[in-house]
């Protein structure tokens, strides 16, 4: 009971927070406000944005919230706007300055949290209707690279599956204290500028955005484009339906196109060290070394015997000739 | 029948002999490289708008003219002066900076300029290996076709690391050198390092007045052996200071410094004197011309330039192009790379080598000007910078003013590694300060300093150019002297595939020699020897086959000789 009340409390707070964004935009560009007015998800993503910022610093609350979002999400709240939260939010962010860049496919706040190429309502030509509405939580951070030796950054999952024509909302939780991106490529260019959908946020913080995937089976590259984050592990794929061709070099999922060459190193071992300590062990070393040496000698001897056996016919021939001569 | 055969063979041999020995009398012809075979780049980067060169005002920030061919993006300067938190979204979008890259707030002393400065730096790799294709990315060329593996402190950016999805070229904010930082005495400065790289790093503020440790942020000398642990990938650290002394200083990574510094994690930091209403250009991205100098500099000088000299070892940079696995890179760099066996191959001025230095690191002057030059040597060896046509005065060593009565003038400025010099360059045509107008070279006089991986002309060479010697696109006007610089703007030149003197005269007397037509002398000699052998063999066979006939002949000859002799007797 207490839990549900806190959740509702948070939800109301989130709506209040995100409403100020809308209010600002309204003041700036009325035409674009229209666009967002009709879209429930424009608000929900801001909701997550701010929730992540205020909560995920120490607790995992933002994470919980994101997970529960699917069940509590209610489009009925869309117009339930509270304009009062603006000042509180500003102080919370430390400086009084806000950038909210808005055009149809580019939203950015004063900390560089970014949503680009979002699509809430435009159906791909291959779809007649939206097949399913899915919420996917994606976590990003150095700690997820732990499972993949030889990488430095990773997402928590390397593949997500959705149905063709699905409307997918990604909640991108950056758990590091640096910038990360959730960047998707290869989407239809008539719906997505450069065929891209892009979430970006400096952690620890969350940002959310929505797309509608095409109606054909396909596989899309997801990565972080910060220099060498993809190369060092932050790479995944979104599989629509049965999927298309796999994306290469996804950690633990698909083989690398180019692999490094590995060779064993002569590393110091604890076992070597303990052997050196006691005299008893020293003797055993000598013993083993001695036997090793003997093994080598025996081997050489064996080779000699074999050569001798093989060359018997030759000797025979020589001696016969001598006799015949 | 055998006679005919023998005759034919003999004739053939004679003919072969004649032809073979004839060819040896002439040396191979000169082969000229067709200019069409070269990948020629435009001398001036066409992506940079000429409108950027003009004096202008953006967001109320006065930006000086910068007539060179690749001036700084004026939006960068406006953002650096005002802070990314105090400019319009429109200007911010022209910079590519993150909205929180430079935050300026709180005029604490009430003198009209902000005193809390937050600068966010990320660490970016340039020209590193990809596991997906046999190339490198994001690419940054220090000279045509020269792409050394490098790491830089970069201002916090927004969006992609490359120009766009189709390109592998780095976003213009990700470049060598690490940006020049400018703050004022008394500013409360926070340099926030967000380690976006896959290795641990730190920042050491060499020469900057900073406390060894800070109450909130802990140790902050940047040294893992004394003040703090390494900052791991994905982590953030704040370095806070309030400098009491002005001067030209140095910041660099102090983790595995012997490799990380050379890789490019080194930049200039300038503490300016405190003046009222002193809005500083907090970052000079790419160093070079300071288009919004501080009030103190403007009091004494007409212009200011940041000149960051650096050097890199090719073998070190190659490691990140050879391996992708961070563990392998760490092993190669930390345990196997031996700096005592290394040599520097690339010498850069403001991150670039000649001829790219002509695009953005010219010192463009007019007669009777006073120009402030701030020099930093972040290379591993002593350098000796020579100013052609000028003697300049050394005013500061390592950020500290030299006794004005004892200041000296020189034309070679030796700088130990990590050393800084402030120079006063006066373009007074008196035969001492300046010999008059011209396109005067400024270069490291260790001769390897003018090479790029051993190929001259390259390295950190640039020019002090008088405006009258500048052409319409902001490059030195040299064509009226018959000089053509276009060959330098080809990657083939630095691949060492271009015979550099082929165009000095009409017939390319010092061009590339071709191969012998037909046979070269060595094969000729061996072929001749074989022929001689064949002839000798034939002769011996002939002798053997006809031995009875020869014997008869010989006998007959002997008897003939004997008989007249005998007759005579």
Please say whether the dihedral angle defined by the alpha carbons of residues B49, B50, B53 and B55, taken in this order, is positive or negative: negative
Nearest to A152 among B99, B158, B198 (CB): B198
B41 touches chain A (CB under 8 A): no
List Cβ neighbours of A325 (8 Å cut-off, separation of 6 or more). Answer: none
Query: What's chain A's average pLDDT?
Result: 73
Buried (b) or exposed (e) across B512-534, using 16+ Cβ within 10 A?
Answer: eeeebeeeeeeebeeeeeebeee
Residues in chain B: 569
pLDDT digits (tens, 9 = 90+) for A164-209: 999 999 999 999 999 999 999 999 999 998 899 999 999 999 999 9
> What is the C-alpha separation between B295 and B224, in angstroms, rounded?
37
Cβ-Cβ contacts under 8 Å, B194 against chain A: 177-179, 202
Same domain as B434, residue B553: no
| DSSP-derived secondary structure for B287-337 | -EE-SS--HHHHHH-SEEEEEEEEEE-HHHHHHHHH--SHHHHHHIIIII-
Which pLDDT belongs to residue A59?
37
**What residues pair up with B383 in beta bridges, in sequence order?**
B415
What is the per-residue pLDDT across B39-76, written as a single tens digit (0 to 9) for each? 999 999 888 999 999 999 999 999 999 999 999 999 99
Cβ neighbours of residue A133 closer than 8 Å, sequence gap 6 or more? A166, A167, A168, A169
Please, what sign has the CA dihedral across residues B454, B457, B462, B463? positive
Question: Is the backbone peptide bond immediately before B457 cis, with ω within 30 degrees of 0?
Answer: yes
Going by DSSP bridges, is the β-strand pair B283-284/B180-184 parallel, antiparallel, or unpaired?
A: antiparallel
Among the ranges given (A3-17, A170-184, B9-23), the one the predictor scored with the smallest mean pLDDT: A3-17
Of B444, B467, B501, the position where a domain reaches its end is: B501
Torsion sign, CA atoms A219, A222, A227, A233: negative
What are the DSSP calls for A274-292, one per residue? HHHH-HHHHHHHHHHHHHH
List CB contacts (< 8 A) between A231 and chain B: 128-132, 324
Q: Which residues contact B173 (CB under 8 A, 6 or more apart)?
A: B95, B96, B97, B154, B155, B157, B285
Q: What is the CA radius of gyration of chain A?
A: 32
DSSP code, position A297: H
With CA atoms as reference, the chain B residue closest to A108 would be: B99
Burial group, residue B467, by CB count within 10 angstroms (0-12, 13-18, 19+): exposed
* Helix orientation angle between A2-28 and A61-72, rounded to the nearest 10 degrees: 80
Residues in contact with B85: Cβ distance below 8 Å, sequence separation at least 6, in sequence order: A95, A97, A110, B99, B100, B102, B103, B104, B105
Quick one: which of A151, A127, A84 has its CA closest to A216? A127
Residue A135 has pLDDT above 60, yes or no: yes
Burial of residue A113, with CB atoms counted within 10 A of its CB: 0-12 exposed, 13-18 middle, 19 or more buried:
buried
Task: Say how far apart CA A54 and CA A46 lie, in whole Å.
Answer: 12
- Rounded to the nearest angstrom, the minimum Cα separation between A286 and chain B is 31
Contact A228 B100 (CB under 8 A): no
Alpha-carbon distance of B487 to A29, in angstroms, equals 52
Dmax (CA) for chain B in angstroms is: 141
> With contact defined as beta carbons under 8 Å apart, do B278 and B295 qualify?
yes
- Say yes or no to pLDDT of A29 above 70: no
Buried-state track A223-249, b at ≥16 Cβ within 10 A, e below 16: bbbbbbbbbbbbbbbbbbbeeeeebbb
Q: In this structure, what token pair is assigned to residue B262?
A: 């050379």
Question: Which burial class, exposed, middle or buried, applies to A24 when counting CB atoms under 10 A from its CB (0-12, 13-18, 19+)?
Answer: middle
Query: How confident is residue B521, by pLDDT bands cut at 50, 70 and 90?
Result: confident
Instruction: Flag whether B456 is in a domain.
Output: yes
pLDDT band of residue B117 (cuts 50, 70, 90) is: very high
Q: What pLDDT, on a 0 to 100 scale, did the predictor assign at position A286?
A: 55
User: How far is B256 from chain A, CA to nearest CA, in Å?
Assistant: 19
Packing angle, helices A61-72 and A40-55, rounded to 10: 160
Same domain, yes or no, for B160 and B283? yes
Count of domains observed in chain B: 2
Q: What is the pTM of this model?
A: 0.80
Distance CA B349, CA B143 (A): 11
Chain B positions touching A144 (Cβ under 8 A) are none
Task: Tokens for B208, please give them.
Answer: 């900057």
Do B18 and B94 share a structural domain? no
Helical ranges in B38-156 per DSSP H? 74-82, 89-95
Task: Answer yes or no: do B158 and A112 touch at CB < 8 A.
Answer: yes
Instruction: Return the residue in A227, A246, A256 with the most chain B beta carbons within 10 A, the one to mutate for interface testing.
Output: A227
What was the pLDDT predicted at A318?
Answer: 67
Check B198 against A178: CB less than 8 A apart. no
ipTM for the whole complex: 0.88
- Whether the pLDDT of residue B289 is over 60: the answer is yes
What is the structure's pLDDT at B50? Answer: 94
Which residue of B93, B124, B126 is in closest CB contact with A101?
A: B93
Minimum CA–CA partner of B163 in chain A: A225
Whether B272 and B299 have beta carbons less than 8 Å apart is answered as no
Q: What domain range is B344 assigned to? A: 34-389+428-501
- What's the pLDDT at B523? 78
Helix A279-310 and helix A270-277: axis angle, to 10°?
110
B373 and B234, same structural domain?
A: yes
More confident residue, A311 or A206: A206
Residue in A closest to B199 by C-alpha: A152
What was the pLDDT predicted at A278? 55
**Above 50 in pLDDT, residue B534?**
yes
B150 & B188 share domain: yes
Q: Which residues of A touch B131 (CB under 8 A)?
A: 231, 248-249, 256-259
Residues with Cβ < 8 Å from B116, sequence gap 6 or more?
B103, B104, B105, B106, B108, B187, B188, B190
Question: Which residues, 6+ apart, have CB-to-CB distance to B379 below 8 Å?
Answer: B262, B309, B310, B311, B344, B347, B417
Using a CB-CB cut-off of 8 Å, the residues of chain A touching B105 are 95
- Domain A2-240: assigned CATH number: 2.60.40.420
Inside any domain, residue B515? no
Kindly state whether residues B23 and B151 are assigned to the same domain. no
Strand partners, B249: B269
Q: Which residues pair with A199 in a beta bridge?
A: A115, A182
Among A114, A149, A257, whose Cβ lies nearest the Cβ of B132? A257
Residues A138 and A105: beta-carbon distance below 8 Å: no
3-state helix, strand, coil in chain B (%, to 5): 25, 30, 45
Q: What is the distance between the alpha carbons of residues A61 and A69, in angstroms, rounded to a whole number?
A: 12
- First CA to last CA distance, chain A: 116
Test B233 with A153 for CB contact under 8 angstroms: yes
- Which band of pLDDT confidence, cut at 50, 70 and 90, is reported for residue A309? confident
Residue corresponding to tokens 């590393």:
A267
Nearest by CB to A232, from B159, B165, B198: name it: B198
Instruction: Give the pLDDT confidence of B182-217 residue by residue, as tens digits.
Output: 999 999 999 999 999 999 999 999 999 999 999 888
Contact B234/A153, CB-based, under 8 Å? Answer: yes
SS3 A127: coil
Nearest C-alpha in A relative to B86? A97
Do B381 and B529 share a domain, yes or no? Answer: no
Q: Which two tokens stand for residue B14?
A: 């004679």
Q: Is the pLDDT of residue A76 over 90?
A: no
Cα A4 to its chain centre, rounded Å, is: 31
Whole-number mean pLDDT of chain B?
A: 93
For residue A268, the chain B residues in CB contact (below 8 A) are none
Instruction: For residues B528 and B495, state if they share a domain.
Output: no
Q: Could you tell me if A152 and A143 are in contact, meaning their C-beta atoms sit under 8 angstroms apart?
A: no
Judged by a CB distance cut-off of 8 A, whether residue B214 touches chain A is no
In terms of Cα–Cα distance, which of B411, B438, B437 is closest to B423?
B411
* Residues B533, B475 share a domain: no
Higher pLDDT, A92 or B115: B115
DSSP label at residue B216: T
How large is the average pLDDT for residues B408-419?
A: 98
Q: State whether A99 and B326 contact (CB < 8 Å).
A: no
Residue in chain A lying closest to B195 (CA): A178
Whether residue A232 and residue B326 make contact (CB cut-off 8 A), yes or no, is yes
| Residue A30: pLDDT over 50 | no
**Pair B291, B434 in one domain:** yes
Please give the pLDDT value at position B24.
Answer: 58
**Residue B398 in domain:** no
Task: Give the B window 122-141 contacts with A, CB below 8 Å.
Answer: 122, 124-126, 128-134, 138
Stronger pLDDT, A226 or B544, i.e. the higher one: A226
Closest residue to A177, CB basis, from B126, B235, B331: B235
Same domain, B495 and B551: no
User: What are B42-45's contacts with CB under 8 Å, separation 24+?
Assistant: B42/B489, B43/B69, B43/B355, B43/B358, B43/B359, B43/B473, B43/B475, B43/B485, B43/B486, B43/B489, B44/B69, B44/B70, B44/B359, B44/B473, B44/B474, B44/B475, B45/B69, B45/B70, B45/B359
Q: Is residue B511 part of a domain?
A: no
CA-wise closest residue to B348 among B297, B434, B287, B389: B287
User: Which residue bears the tokens 């490098």?
Assistant: B150
Task: Give the dihedral sign, CA B522/B523/B526/B531.
Answer: negative
Whether B561 shows a pLDDT value over 90: the answer reads: no
Token output for B74: 């004026």
pLDDT confidence bin for A276, thresholds 50/70/90? low
Instruction: Provide the pLDDT confidence category of residue A91 given band limits of 50, 70 and 90.
Output: very low
Whether the CB of B162 is below 8 Å from some CB of chain A: the reply is yes
Chains A–B, number of C-beta pairs less than 8 Å apart: 131
pLDDT tens digits for range B119-172: 999 999 999 999 999 999 999 999 999 999 999 999 999 999 999 888 999 999
Reference A180, options A228, A250, A247, A213; nearest CA is A228
Beta bridge partners of B118: B103, B190
| Residue B131 is assigned to a structural domain of this protein | yes
Closest CA to B202 of B153, B269, B158: B153
Q: What's the gap in Å between the CA of A118 and the closest CA on chain B?
A: 15
Q: Answer whether A248's CB lies under 8 Å from A145's CB.
A: no
What percentage of chain B has pLDDT greater than the value 90?
82
Does the structure show a pLDDT above 80 at A285?
Answer: no
- Residues 319-358 of chain B whose Cβ lies under 8 A from any Cβ of chain A: 323-328, 331
Residue A185: list chain B partners with CB under 8 A: 165
Q: Which two tokens stand for residue B203?
A: 């920042």
Q: Is A231–B233 a contact, with Cβ atoms under 8 angstroms apart?
A: no
Contact residues, chain A, for B170 at CB < 8 Å: 227
**Residue with token string 């004679």:** B14
In a domain, B407, yes or no: no
pLDDT digits (tens, 9 = 90+) for B496-507: 999 999 999 999
The arithmetic mean of pLDDT across residues A53-63, rounded, is 37
Give contacts of B 166-195 with A, CB under 8 A: 170, 174, 194-195
DSSP 8-class letter at B505: S
Q: Mind telling me how many Å the CA of B533 is from chain A's nearest CA?
A: 37
Mean pLDDT confidence for A91-110: 60
Q: Do B86 and A97 touch (CB under 8 A)?
A: yes
Q: Residues B520-526: what's their mean pLDDT?
A: 77
- Quick one: B14 and B89 in the same domain? no
């Amino acid at each position: 009971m207490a839990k549900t009340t806190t959740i509702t409390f948070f939800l109301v707070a989130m709506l209040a927070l995100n409403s100020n964004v809308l209010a600002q935009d309204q003041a700036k560009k009325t035409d674009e406000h229209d666009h967002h007015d009709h879209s429930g998800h424009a608000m929900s993503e801001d909701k997550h944005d701010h929730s992540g910022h205020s909560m995920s610093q120490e607790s995992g609350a933002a994470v919980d919230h994101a997970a529960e979002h699917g069940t509590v999400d209610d489009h009925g709240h869309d117009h339930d706007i509270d304009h009062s939260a603006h000042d509180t939010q500003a102080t919370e962010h430390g400086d009084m300055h806000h950038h909210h860049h808005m055009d149809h496919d580019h939203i950015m706040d004063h900390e560089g949290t970014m949503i680009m190429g979002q699509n809430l309502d435009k159906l791909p030509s291959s779809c007649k209707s939206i097949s399913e509405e899915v919420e996917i939580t994606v976590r990003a951070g150095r700690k997820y690279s732990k499972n993949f030796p030889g990488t430095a950054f990773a997402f928590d999952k390397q593949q997500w599956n959705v149905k063709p024509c699905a409307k997918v909302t990604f909640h991108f939780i950056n758990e590091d204290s640096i910038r990360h991106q959730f960047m998707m490529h290869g989407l239809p260019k008539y719906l997505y500028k450069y065929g891209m959908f892009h979430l970006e946020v400096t952690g620890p913080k969350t940002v959310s955005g929505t797309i509608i995937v095409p109606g054909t089976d396909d596989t899309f590259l997801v990565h972080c484009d910060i220099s060498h984050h993809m190369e060092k592990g932050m790479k995944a794929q979104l599989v629509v339906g049965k999927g298309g061709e796999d994306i290469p070099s996804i950690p633990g999922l698909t083989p690398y196109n180019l692999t490094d060459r590995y060779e064993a190193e002569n590393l110091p071992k604890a076992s070597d060290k303990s052997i050196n300590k006691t005299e008893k062990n020293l003797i055993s070393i000598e013993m083993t070394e001695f036997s090793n040496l003997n093994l080598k000698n025996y081997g050489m001897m064996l080779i000699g015997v074999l050569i001798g056996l093989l060359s018997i016919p030759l000797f025979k021939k020589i001696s016969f000739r001598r006799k015949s001569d | 029948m055998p006679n005919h055969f023998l005759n034919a063979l003999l004739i053939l041999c004679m003919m072969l002999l004649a032809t073979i020995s004839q060819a040896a009398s002439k040396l191979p012809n000169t082969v000229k490289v067709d200019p069409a075979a070269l990948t020629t780049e435009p001398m001036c980067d066409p992506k940079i708008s000429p409108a950027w060169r003009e004096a202008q005002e953006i967001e109320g920030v006065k930006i000086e003219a910068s007539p060179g061919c690749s001036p700084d993006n004026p939006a960068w300067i406006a953002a650096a002066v005002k802070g990314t938190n105090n400019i319009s979204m429109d200007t911010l979008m022209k910079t590519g900076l993150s909205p929180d890259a430079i935050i300026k707030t709180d005029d604490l002393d009430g003198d009209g300029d902000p005193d809390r400065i937050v600068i966010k730096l990320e660490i970016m790799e340039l020209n590193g290996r990809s596991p997906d294709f046999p190339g490198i990315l994001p690419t940054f060329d220090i000279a045509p076709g020269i792409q050394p593996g490098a790491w830089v402190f970069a201002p916090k950016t927004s969006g992609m690391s490359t120009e766009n999805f189709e390109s592998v070229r780095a976003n213009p904010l990700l470049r060598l050198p690490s940006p020049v930082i400018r703050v004022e005495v008394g500013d409360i400065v926070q340099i926030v390092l967000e380690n976006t790289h896959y290795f641990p790093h730190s920042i050491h503020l060499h020469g900057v007045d900073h406390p060894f440790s800070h109450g909130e942020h802990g140790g902050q000398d940047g040294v893992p052996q004394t003040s703090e642990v390494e900052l791991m990938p994905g982590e953030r650290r704040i370095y806070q200071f309030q400098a009491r002394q002005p001067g030209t200083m140095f910041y660099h990574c102090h983790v595995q410094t012997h490799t990380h510094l050379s890789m490019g994690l080194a930049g200039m930091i300038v503490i300016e004197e405190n003046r009222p209403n002193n809005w500083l250009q907090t970052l000079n991205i790419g160093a070079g011309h300071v288009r919004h100098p501080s009030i103190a500099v403007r009091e004494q000088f007409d212009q200011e330039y940041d000149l960051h000299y650096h050097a890199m070892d090719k073998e070190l940079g190659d490691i990140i192009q050879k391996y992708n696995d961070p563990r392998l890179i760490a092993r190669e760099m930390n345990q196997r790379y031996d700096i005592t066996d290394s040599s520097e191959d690339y010498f850069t001025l403001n991150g670039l080598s000649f001829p790219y230095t002509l695009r953005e690191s010219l010192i463009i002057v007019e007669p009777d000007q006073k120009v402030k030059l701030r020099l930093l040597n972040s290379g591993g060896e002593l350098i000796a910078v020579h100013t052609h046509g000028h003697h300049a005065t050394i005013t500061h060593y390592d950020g500290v003013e030299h006794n004005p009565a004892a200041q000296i003038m020189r034309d070679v400025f030796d700088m130990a590694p990590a050393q800084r010099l402030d120079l006063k360059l006066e373009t007074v045509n008196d035969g001492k300060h300046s010999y008059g107008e011209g396109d005067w070279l400024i270069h490291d006089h260790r001769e390897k300093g003018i090479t790029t991986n051993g190929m001259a002309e390259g390295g950190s060479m640039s020019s002090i150019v008088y405006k009258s010697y500048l052409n319409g696109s902001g490059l030195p006007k040299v064509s009226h002297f018959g000089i053509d610089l276009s060959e330098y703007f080809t990657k083939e030149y630095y691949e060492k595939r271009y015979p550099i003197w082929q165009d000095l005269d009409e017939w390319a007397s010092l061009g590339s020699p071709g191969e012998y037509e037909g046979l070269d002398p060595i094969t000729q000699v061996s072929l001749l020897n074989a022929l001689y052998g064949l002839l000798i063999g034939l002769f011996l066979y002939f002798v053997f086959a006809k031995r009875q006939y020869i014997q008869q002949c010989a006998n007959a000859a002997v008897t003939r000789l004997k008989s007249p002799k005998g007759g005579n007797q």
